[in-house]
Amino acid sequence: MKIEQIYTGCLAEAAYYIESNGEAVIIDPLRETEDYITKANEDGAKIKYVLETHFHADFVSGHIDLAKKTGATIVYGPNANPNYDIHVAKDGEELKVGKITIKVLHTPGHTMESSTYLLIDEKGKERAIFSGDTLFIGDVGRPDLAIKSDVTRDDLAGFLFDSLRNKIMTLPDDVIVYPGHGAGSACGKNMSKETYDTLGNQKKFNYALRANMTREEFVKEVTDGLVDPPQYFPKNAMMNKMGYDSFDQVLAKGTNALNPTQFEELVNKEEAIVLDTRTKDEFRDGHIPNSIFIGLDGSFAVWVGTLITDINQKFAIVTDPGKEEEVVTRLSRVGYDNTIGYLDGGFDAWKKAGKEVSIVGQVSAQELADTFTKDKMKVLDVRKKSEYDAEHVEEFSNFPLDFINKNMSKINRDTTYHLHCKSGYRSMIAASILMARGFEVVDIAGGMEDIAKTQMKLTDYVCPSTLL
């Protein structure tokens, strides 16, 4: 028997490959499928099942393409009713894979169809659970992402309490917990950086599995402090339920090489967003006017999904040569399937063609500190509210990048804004968005990390006068 966790850091997502005696299953696969097929071929195994723990909201799963390519059966737990052929497993149903057994445990709470898969080895020992978004390491799944509107957040939290107590916590302490996500995912609040653990340890250290915890306490603690999920979450969940275009077609369409003139003409014709995925420093020093920066070296797909509200938006991409396929792939993982091509030769080709170039103005943190006057300068701290509340400069206003589209009406086109985040990635994204909408901006190099080294006064008190 082989168990392999396939972890994708930029999405904090874990898929699983399990093989026994020439048969294999894939749990919660990503959109691209070739790696899973290759693993099975190398083991001389046939993929028998594609197991989905629930309708994912934070990424588009590869279950449909994988089933079409391999003949595998897609399996969901009770209450799933997608727009394609699946096997709806009953609670407690057992699936045979080679010499092992996978038992379906219906564990509603994160969503109503959420299920956990219990692996029982050839000797009959309960070895591991693949818990999806029901149980994380250090946390549990947020109970506010259900597609159905007739169940409340508190209802789901109550169901989750029952699922954990009645289905999971009754299992042996040495069972290994393999969750669907790790730290950085928006599907929970307090996930550990560890990507697996024993159930016994989780009973000791996971707040949601605390002994003698009442249902009311659980509901309150699990729902407390939840912020709105990224706007693409319900759209991804619906794609996973209703179906989507083949990834191969999306990739072929998106990796369309365009010379600078073709690129410019197609952008104008298709009203596409120019998406620049290079580093923040490269974008700062020169970019196509009105392009949006979201660098591949950060949480690229998550930020695209958070900031680009139209999931059908067309993109033309600027990236380092050789990175084009990676960009299209990572966009498709969160359902953005309409890349129409890329700038052949990258930004250097644009410059050599004599096309117009924009730059982002920048000052050092010390230069800002030396010249800052409250009456003449407006600084926007684009970090999350929780980061701002923990430590910030008194006179700076919090303008979280996560909600920049909602808060755009709160800023003035006649004002030049200085921007910072923690280290510069998010502030450059914000700068590109504001510049594309006609605002004057200056980036503060090094962000809060460098600001903290200056003489500027830091506080954890949110002064009302500094709020937008």
Give the mean pLDDT of 363-381.
93
* Segment 243-269, tens digit of pLDDT: 999 999 999 999 999 999 999 999 999
pLDDT at 377: 92
User: Quick one: 108 and 216 in the same domain?
Assistant: yes
d(CA 221, CA 33): 38
Cα angle 190, 16, 23 (rounded to 5 degrees) comes to 160
Domain hosting 297: range is: 245-352
- Residues 23, 160, single domain; the answer is yes
Question: Contact at 8 Å (CB) between 277 and 283?
Answer: no
- What pLDDT score does 468 carry? 53
Given 320, 352, 384, the domain boundary residue is 352
Sheet with 257-258: list strands edge to edge. Answer: 257-258, 339-343, 315-318, 273-276, 292-293
Q: pLDDT at residue 318 above 60?
A: yes
What CATH number has the domain bearing residue 400? 3.40.250.10
Which residue, of 352, 379, 407, is where some domain finishes?
352
Contact (Cβ atoms closer than 8 angstroms) between residue 90 and residue 104: yes
Dihedral over alpha carbons 42, 45, 47, 49 (to 10 degrees)? -130
Residue 319 and residue 277 in contact, taking contact as beta carbons nearer than 8 Å: yes
- For residues 100 and 121, is the Cβ–Cβ distance under 8 A? yes
pTM attached to this predicted model: 0.92
Segment 92-120 shows an average pLDDT of 98
> What is residue 43's predicted lDDT score, i.e. its pLDDT?
97
**Residues 87 and 113 both lie in one domain:** yes
* Predicted pLDDT of residue 241: 97
Residue in this structure with the two tokens 């497993």, named with its chain if needed = 89
Are 9 and 153 members of one domain? yes
pLDDT at 228: 84
**Residue 4, Cβ density class (10 Å: 0-12 exposed, 13-18 middle, ≥19 buried):** exposed
Q: Rounded mean pLDDT of 350-374?
A: 96
pLDDT grade for 465, boundaries at 50, 70 and 90 = very low
Last residue of a domain, one of 352, 373, 391: 352
Confidence label for 466 from pLDDT (cuts 50, 70 and 90): very low
Q: Are residues 43 and 124 in the same domain?
A: yes
CA distance linking residue 423 with residue 449, whole number of Å: 6
Answer yes or no: do 60 and 111 share one domain. yes
Per-residue pLDDT for 464 more than 50? no
On whether both 335 and 446 belong to a single domain, the answer is: no
Mean pLDDT, residues 104-113 taken together? 97
Residues 56 and 101 in one domain: yes
pLDDT, tens digit (0-9, with 9 covering 90-100), for 374-391:
888 999 999 999 899 999
Higher pLDDT, 461 or 332: 332
Q: Residue 467 pLDDT more than 50?
A: no
Residue 216 has pLDDT above 90, yes or no: yes
What is the pLDDT at residue 227?
Answer: 82
Q: What is the DSSP letter of 131?
A: E
Q: pLDDT, tens digit, for every residue of 138-151?
A: 999 999 987 766 88
How many domains, the chain?
3
Model confidence over 144-188: pLDDT tens digits? Answer: 987 766 889 999 999 999 999 999 999 999 999 999 999 888 888
Residues 279 and 136 in one domain: no
Kindly state whether residues 225 and 347 are assigned to the same domain. Answer: no
Residues 173 and 297 in one domain: no
Question: Mean pLDDT in the chain?
Answer: 95
E strands, 151-225, are 176-179, 197-198
The pLDDT confidence band at residue 222, using thresholds 50, 70 and 90, is very high
Residues comprising the chain, all counted: 468
Task: Look at residue 185 in the predicted model and tell me its pLDDT.
Answer: 87
Q: What is the pLDDT of residue 376?
A: 85
Task: Provide the 10 A C-beta neighbour count for residue 142.
Answer: 25
CA-wise closest residue to 24 among 52, 5, 8, 43: 43
Residues 407-421 pLDDT 10s: 999 999 999 999 999
Q: What does the pLDDT average to over 287-295? A: 98
Whether 345 and 365 share a structural domain = no
pLDDT category of residue 128 using cuts at 50, 70 and 90: very high
